[in-house]
Every structure is written in structure tokens, then in C-alpha cells.
């Protein structure tokens, strides 16, 4: 029995090594520029990776149909894990990736950004918002806000509009995104005179029951609860607060976007929720509406802000490649130099904001829009 097992393992190992070695032999073929990206397509964070992949596919088709610069897109699964992300990145490198869309989530992006930096492949991440992704690396750019930006902007907004003085924060302790926003929010809140009365957390293992966190905020009379987290957890908090009879003002960040399109979610629960987000799927803007309609038709879901950022990434690449005259026969390193020059000088108008610019740090400058949910739809706050 041991021998059988060993033989089978041996055979499997050889077949797989051969398969991997063969994969490395793929050559550059056509006139399309190869864009690659990694994201969680399976596992607990699959919702974000698939949104990015789907939207990027739509954008690449549209760009190719326009007849100008041609793209070929490939997404590889990283299961929201740094190790798998590096594996996925190496697979893309073997494929001949010339431009990278980095990784969808922050920790994997931090790992792959070290690789793209060393290999001189230009990377623009749609959604990995941690500062560490771009910090100290000249060829790493972000389409989304960095976390600290959002935290301080939210505190500023709450203080400026006088929404509340007693504030509660519920955040996800083991999540880089949530923690990054939380820290700068707390710092800014202290300066602006916001009184944070309740500060509670949750983590991956216990992200279903929020009764304790809600009770804490309620008993300390918080008038507003700040939720720096993604919408799946936020939807649970809203429904459990409703069950507990607690109705404060709710304030979310860009991760909250998507809550209205949750399959089966009672949008009444989200009535009055405020959020800062660069993207609004209900916008009357022509491009946004066309994108949302196409996404819905293809995938049966309303695109969230991850999808919108990915869509913008591809279009930003198209604009930069056209401007720099990038062609498919250029090496990744040549393209990288051209892209750094383009991205630090160009202005891009997309569905997540007009007049976006980037500085040498790789962080985007665009203004978030304050939104409030009324009758199941976003309405601009100002």
C-alpha cells in the first residue's frame, strides 16, 4: 500500500513538473499587450476577485473593439494569500505578462508588488488600498484610495457636517483594510473633537454575531456608528442592530458600496446609511450606466466599487499606452518606464472620478463623494 502510494505520488510529481516546465515555454505571439492580475477567485474573499476579473474582462473587450491599442487579459487565482499570489504572479510572468494589475487584496498585493518591483513590471492595482503596496516602489500605482485617506476624510466629513459628537467604531481586527482606516480615523477624530465612546472589533472566526459590539455602542449612547469594513459584514451589523432596536446614524467607507445589490438584502435596513465612495452604480452618468447595464447582463449582478476600479484600471492603461505609443513587442521593462512617465503626468477621467492624477508615490488623487441611501438608492449628500 505504501509502495502504491509512493508510485502514484512519484508519477503525479513528474507529470506536474513537466506540466509546469511546459507552461514556461509559451512564447509571445500576437499584437496584443499582455495584462495580468491576481485576485481571490476562490475561497472566502472570492467576491472581490471575481468582481475585478469580470469588470476587467468587459473593459478589455471594449478597448479592443475600439480598434486602437489591443489588450490580452489573464487573471489568476491567489485565494487571498500572499504565497499563492506570488505563485500566480510567476505563472503570469511565464505567460509573458507585460503590464500587471497587481493583486486585488492588500496583503497579496504587498507580496506581489515586491516581485513586480524587482522584475520591473509596471503595476496598477484596482483595489489593494494599503500604503505598503506602493510605498518605496516607483512602479506601483493604485486606482483606489489608500486606507489612511479614507479614515481621515470620513472623520473630517462627520465633524464638518456636525453629524455626531459621540461616535462608535466597529472594525475588523484581522483585516489590513479595516485596520488602516480605523487608525487614521481615530487619529483624525481626536484632532477634530469627535468623541469615540465605543471601540469594538471582530475577526474572521467570529464575524457572525455582533450583539456585543452593538450593545456596547448602544449603551454608551453613540449617535453615529462608523463601519470601516466591507458590505457583507456591514449588512449583518445593520440587521442585528435593527433586531436590537438600535437606530443610530451609520457611516461607511467605500467597502460599504455593494450593500444595496446584495441578493435578498432588505434595503430598508440600509435606509439613511452614509458612505464615502468614489463609485455609484445608480449614477446617471452615461459611461457608468452603460457599464452597469453590461455587467448586469453578463454576470447577473450589480457591479460594486471593486469592479468599477478594475474597469478604470484597464481604461487608464489604454489611455497611457496610446499616449506613450506602447506596442506589444516592447519588453515589460520598456513599458514600465513609459508607464511611470505617463501615470505621473496624465489626467484620467473614469467612472470612479473625473480628473484623476497620480504623483510619484503611486497614490491616486480623486475626491470621494458623500452618499446617503434613500429609498434603496444612493443620493449625493452635498
Partner 1 sequence: MGFLGFLISGISLGSIYAIIALGYTMVYGIAKMLNFAHGDVIMVGAYICFFAVSKYHLPPLVGVLAAMAVCTALGIVIEKLAYKPLRQATSLAVLITAIGVSYFLQNAALLLWTSSPKVFSNPFIRQTVNEAGKKIKITGFQLFDGQLRISYVTVVTIVVCLVIMAALVLFTGKTKMGKAMRACSEDKGAAQLMGINVDTTISVTFAIGSGLAAIAGVLLCSAYPTLVPTTGSMPGIKAFTAAVFGGIGSIPGALLGGLLLGIIEIMAKAYISTQMSDAVVFLVLILVLLVKPAGLLGKKVREKV
Partner 2 sequence: MMNRNKNFGRNLLTFAVVIAAYAILQPMVLAGSVSATLKGMLVPICAYVAMALSLNLTVGVLGELSLGHAGFMSVGAFAGATTAIALQQAVASAPLRLAIALAVAAVFAALVGFLIGIPVLRLNGDYLAIVTLAFGEIIKSIFNNLYLGLDDRGFHVSLLEDRTGLAEEGRMIIAGPMGIGNIPKIASFTGGFILILLCLAVIFNLVNSRQGRAVMAIRDNRIAAESVGIPVTKYKMMAFVISAAMAGAAGALFSLNYSTVVANKFDFNTSILILVFVVFGGLGNMLGSVIAAAALTILPEALRSFSNYRMLIYAIVLILVMLATNNPTLKMLIGRTIPKRKGAAESA
User: Which residues of the shown chain bind partner 2 in the complex (CB under 8 A)?
Assistant: 1-6, 8-10, 12-13, 15-17, 19-21, 23-25, 41-42, 76-77, 81-84, 86-91, 93-94, 107, 110-111, 113-114, 130, 132, 173-176, 179-180, 203-205
| Runs of H (alpha helix) within 96-225 | 106-119, 131-134, 147-160, 176-192, 211-219
Question: Cα 172 to the chain's mean position, in Å?
Answer: 16
Exposure string over 303-320, b if 16+ CB within 10 A, otherwise e: bbbbbbbbbbbbbbbbbb
Q: Does residue 50 bind partner 1 (CB under 8 A)?
A: yes
Stretch that binds partner 1, among 9-17, 44-52, 122-130, 329-337 (CB under 8 A): 44-52
Q: Does residue 374 bind partner 1 (CB under 8 A)?
A: no
Q: Which residue has the cell 478604470?
A: 312
In the complex with partner 1, the residue whose CB is nearer, 174 or 359, is 174
Least gap, CB of 264 to partner 1 (angstroms):
4
Q: Does residue 235 bind partner 1 (CB under 8 A)?
A: yes
How far apart are alpha carbons 366 and 283 in whole angstroms? 17
76 makes contact, choosing from partner 1, partner 2, none, with CB < 5 to 8 Å by partner type, with partner 2
Least gap, CB of 206 to partner 1 (angstroms):
6
- 116 grid coordinates: 513586480
Question: What is the DSSP track for 67-115?
Answer: TSS-EEEEEEE-TT-HHHHHHHHHHHHHHT--EEEEESSHHHHHHHHHH
87 makes contact, choosing from partner 2, partner 1, none, with CB < 5 to 8 Å by partner type, with partner 2
> Rounded to the nearest 10 degrees, how much is the dihedral formed by the CA atoms of 279, 167, 376, 352?
0
193 makes contact, choosing from partner 1, partner 2, none, with CB < 5 to 8 Å by partner type, with none
* Contact between residue 355 and residue 99 where contact means Cβ atoms under 8 Å apart: no
Contact positions with partner 1 (CB under 8 A) in 315-344: none
212 makes contact, choosing from partner 1, partner 2, none, with CB < 5 to 8 Å by partner type, with partner 1
249 makes contact, choosing from partner 2, partner 1, none, with CB < 5 to 8 Å by partner type, with none
Q: Does residue 233 bind partner 1 (CB under 8 A)?
A: yes
* CA-based nearest residue to 271, from 247, 292, 255: 247
Residue 211 burial (10 A CB sphere; 0-12, 13-18, 19+): exposed
Q: Which residue has the cell 492595482?
A: 125
The contacts of residue 198 (CB under 8 Å, 6+ apart) are 168, 169, 213, 216, 217, 220, 222
Among 32, 47, 187, 346, binds partner 1 (CB under 8 A): 47
Question: Cα 176 to the chain's mean position, in Å?
Answer: 12
Size of interface with partner 1, in residues (CB under 8 A): 40
Cα radius of gyration (the chain) = 22
Least gap, CB of 5 to partner 1 (angstroms):
10
Contact positions with partner 1 (CB under 8 A) in 152-211: 173, 200-206, 208-209, 211
3 makes contact, choosing from partner 2, partner 1, none, with CB < 5 to 8 Å by partner type, with partner 2
Q: Does residue 232 bind partner 1 (CB under 8 A)?
A: yes
Contact positions with partner 1 (CB under 8 A) in 249-288: 262-266
How far apart are alpha carbons 359 and 62 in whole angstroms? 28
276 makes contact, choosing from partner 2, partner 1, none, with CB < 5 to 8 Å by partner type, with none
Least gap, CB of 203 to partner 1 (angstroms):
7
List contacts with partner 1 (CB under 8 A). 42-44, 46-47, 49-50, 173, 200-206, 208-209, 211-213, 215-216, 218-219, 232-233, 235-236, 239-240, 242-245, 262-266, 301
Amino acid at each position: 500500500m505504501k509502495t502504491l502510494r509512493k508510485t502514484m505520488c512519484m508519477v503525479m510529481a513528474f507529470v506536474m513538473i513537466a506540466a509546469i516546465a511546459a507552461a514556461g515555454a509559451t512564447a509571445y505571439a500576437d499584437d496584443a499587450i499582455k495584462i495580468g492580475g491576481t485576485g481571490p477567485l476562490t475561497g472566502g474573499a472570492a467576491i472581490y476577485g471575481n468582481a475585478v476579473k469580470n469588470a476587467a474582462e468587459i473593459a478589455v473587450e471594449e478597448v479592443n473593439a475600439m480598434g486602437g491599442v489591443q489588450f490580452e487579459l489573464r487573471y489568476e487565482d491567489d485565494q487571498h494569500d500572499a504565497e499563492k499570489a506570488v505563485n500566480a504572479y510567476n505563472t503570469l510572468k511565464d505567460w509573458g505578462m507585460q503590464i500587471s494589475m497587481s493583486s486585488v487584496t492588500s496583503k497579496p498585493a504587498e507580496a506581489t508588488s515586491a516581485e513586480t518591483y524587482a522584475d520591473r513590471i509596471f503595476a496598477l492595482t484596482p483595489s489593494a488600498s494599503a500604503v505598503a503596496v506602493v510605498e518605496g516602489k516607483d512602479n506601483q500605482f493604485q486606482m483606489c484610495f489608500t486606507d489612511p485617506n479614507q479614515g481621515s476624510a470620513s472623520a473630517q466629513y462627520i465633524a464638518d457636517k456636525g453629524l455626531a459628537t459621540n461616535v462608535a467604531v466597529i472594525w475588523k481586527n484581522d483585516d489590513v483594510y479595516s485596520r488602516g482606516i480605523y487608525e487614521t480615523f481615530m487619529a483624525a477624530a481626536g484632532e477634530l473633537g469627535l468623541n469615540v465612546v465605543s471601540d469594538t472589533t471582530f475577526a474572521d472566526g467570529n464575524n457572525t454575531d455582533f450583539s456585543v459590539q452593538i450593545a456596547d455602542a448602544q449603551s454608551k449612547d453613540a449617535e453615529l456608528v462608523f463601519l470601516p469594513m466591507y458590505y457583507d459584514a456591514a449588512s449583518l451589523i445593520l440587521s442585528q442592530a435593527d433586531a436590537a432596536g438600535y437606530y443610530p446614524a451609520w457611516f461607511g467607507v467605500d467597502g460599504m458600496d455593494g450593500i444595496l445589490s446584495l441578493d435578498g438584502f432588505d434595503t430598508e435596513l440600509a435606509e439613511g446609511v452614509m458612505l464615502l465612495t468614489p463609485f455609484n452604480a445608480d449614477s446617471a452618468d452615461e459611461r457608468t450606466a452603460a457599464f452597469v447595464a453590461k455587467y448586469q447582463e453578463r454576470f447577473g449582478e450589480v457591479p460594486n466599487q471593486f469592479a468599477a476600479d478594475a474597469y478604470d484600471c484597464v481604461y487608464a492603461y489604454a489611455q497611457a499606452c496610446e499616449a506613450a505609443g506602447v506596442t506589444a513587442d516592447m519588453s515589460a521593462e520598456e513599458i514600465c518606464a513609459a508607464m511611470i512617465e505617463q501615470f505621473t503626468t496624465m489626467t484620467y477621467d473614469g467612472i470612479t472620478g473625473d480628473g484623476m492624477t497620480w504623483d510619484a508615490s503611486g497614490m491616486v488623487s480623486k475626491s470621494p463623494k458623500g452618499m446617503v441611501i434613500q429609498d434603496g438608492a444612493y443620493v449625493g449628500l452635498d
